[in-house]
Amino acid sequence: MPFLKLRDNAELFYQDWGNPKGEIVTFSHGWPLSSDNWESQMIFLVEKGYRVIAHDRRGHGRSTQNWTDHNMEIYVDDLKELFEHLNIKDATMVGHSHGGGEVTRFLGKHGTSRVKKAILVGAVPPLMLKTPSNPEGLDKSVFDSFREAMRKDRAQFFLDVPTGPFFNFNRSGVTKSEGQIQNWWRQGMRTSFKAAYDSVKDFSETDFTNDLKSINIPVLVLHGDDDQVVPIGAAGLKSAKLLPQGKLKIYPGGSHAIHNINVDEMNKDILDFLKN
């Protein structure tokens, strides 16, 4: 399995599939998951001739479970090292949820010299936390309850999230997939407690407003209008307006996990955006 030794000797696990000379698409996963969460999109694009690259953020999945440094500045610097190591150029970056924040801050901080397009899927920007200037956000008590539940019984909490709001399996008429639930749990429990715990603050309190405004490439924003984890009103709708070249597509009834549930539609939307 490929690992990159980073500047502080932490090791970053990554998957590099497909045509070595193909157009590159990178994937950044959501909380508290790993690169495995993108497998439906990755295999689809490989079969279309693309090269796909996805990593496990530090503390997540198979990457080093360090005690500190679980914040967006470190995450995007790690990703920059991976881009340099693999000589990634003219890529399209795709990020879900927390990973959408990673893509946004990466482009805001490190620029677009290696990236030509981006896709944000149920992504956390511009800001999840409710503040006087962001009344559509979620109250801090919501995120405090995440941390409290993790301290009480992380294993059960990591079953409750996918069983309910993540995939919208708590909605009437939705067919529940036990496989999706168990796969989410598997990925979440493989992530260190410390990384998962600290990342709650990172994805909820990081303000990406200025990053969005500075991104000078086409960005496709994909968001479910029944996203119970990252409400579209505080996220996708605002991001699309802040992005200079933002384009929004709303998935009616879509959950937070539209890339896992609306697989065929999502794959087509990604491919169309790559080609046009």
The answer to whether 209 and 127 have CB atoms below 8 angstroms apart is yes
φ/ψ region of 230 (left if φ > 0, alpha if ψ in -120 to 50, else beta) reads beta
d(CA 165, CA 171): 8
Helix axes 98-110, 193-205, angle to 10 degrees: 70
Give 147's contacts (C-beta < 8 A, 6+ positions apart): 197, 200
* Best CA proximity match to 145, nearest among 200, 74, 97: 200
Paired with 224 in beta bridges are 251
The catalytic position among 96, 256, 259, 269 is 256
Give 275's contacts (C-beta < 8 A, 6+ positions apart): none
The catalytic position among 28, 63, 97, 255 is 97
On the 0-12 / 13-18 / 19+ scale of CB atoms within 10 A, 181 is: buried
Is 227 a residue of the active site?
yes
d(CA 145, CA 41): 32
The catalytic position among 227, 239, 259, 269 is 227
Give 200's contacts (C-beta < 8 A, 6+ positions apart): 31, 143, 146, 147
d(CA 125, CA 212): 8
Which of the residues are catalytic?
97, 227, 256
